[in-house]
Amino acid sequence: MSRALIVVDVQPTFCEGGSLPVEGGNAVAQRIADFARTHRGAYDLVATTQDWHIDPGSHFSATPDFVDTWPPHGVAGTAEAELHPALADLDADLAVKKGMYAAAYSGFEGATADGSTLQRALEAAGVTDVDVVGLAESHCVAQTALDAQAAGFATRVLTDLTEPVSPQLGEAARVRMVAAGVELSESGAIAQQ
């Protein structure tokens, strides 16, 4: 077994003070940083994903419905599209950017700097199992976890290392993930591997 940690969209744009903030986002960023520091040895690979929007078309709207259209966020090259400052010492093995010219909720829709997809990079590294954390649980975390499970990775979401856009959307996302076979666990329940 080879396990990867996938850190989804932990960017200032999705934290308090950002253009599309999730309540508790800054605290989640710090908890993820602390967890990664103390559990780095449990992972053969660490990957990050970032919303990196250049011209995502109708994904951005001046009158967003917050379902299919959103205010501008994660704009490529801006400070709020970078990884959250709490993750400065993360030392990730892979960095995936997504959503450049279209909406992209899953890290599996993005690419690394050399053009590899997340799935291809994980498979090339021999990864069999993934833990998914980040922002927001109800959207990009859930979609990344669902795509990981569909791609054949044993997938676990660490529920204390993510926050949903709202409690209701978080609950709906957890129902979808469990139905697809994704395991939900708290980070404290994970034994060192």
- List all residues 6 or more positions away from 168 whose beta carbon is below 8 Å from its beta carbon: none
CA 123 to CA 74: how far, in whole Å? 27
Dmax of the chain from CA atoms?
Answer: 47
Per-residue pLDDT, 192 = 45
Phi–psi pair at 71, nearest 5 degrees: -65, 155
**Domain 3-189 in CATH 3.40.50.850:** yes
What does the buried/exposed string (b/e) look like for 37-47 if buried means 16 or more CB atoms within 10 Å of the residue's CB? eebeeebbbbb
- The band of 190, judged by pLDDT with boundaries at 50, 70 and 90, is confident
Domain ranges of the chain: 3-189
Overall average pLDDT of the 90-94 stretch: 95
Q: Residue 189 pLDDT > 90, yes or no?
A: no
Q: Residue 174 pLDDT > 80, yes or no?
A: yes
What percent of the chain shows pLDDT beyond 70? 98
pLDDT digits (tens, 9 = 90+) for 132-162: 999 999 999 999 999 999 999 999 999 999 9
Q: Residue 181 pLDDT > 80, yes or no?
A: yes
- Give the CB-side neighbour count of residue 119, counting CA atoms within 13 A: 14
- List all residues 6 or more positions away from 160 whose beta carbon is below 8 Å from its beta carbon: 31, 186, 187, 188
66 forms beta bridges with: none
- 80 is written with which tokens? 């709020």
Q: Say what the pTM is.
A: 0.96
Q: Residue 193 pLDDT > 90, yes or no?
A: no
Q: Residue 191 pLDDT > 80, yes or no?
A: no
Overall average pLDDT of the 102-126 stretch: 96
Tokens 């990009």, residue? 140
Q: Residues with catalytic annotation?
A: 9, 98, 140
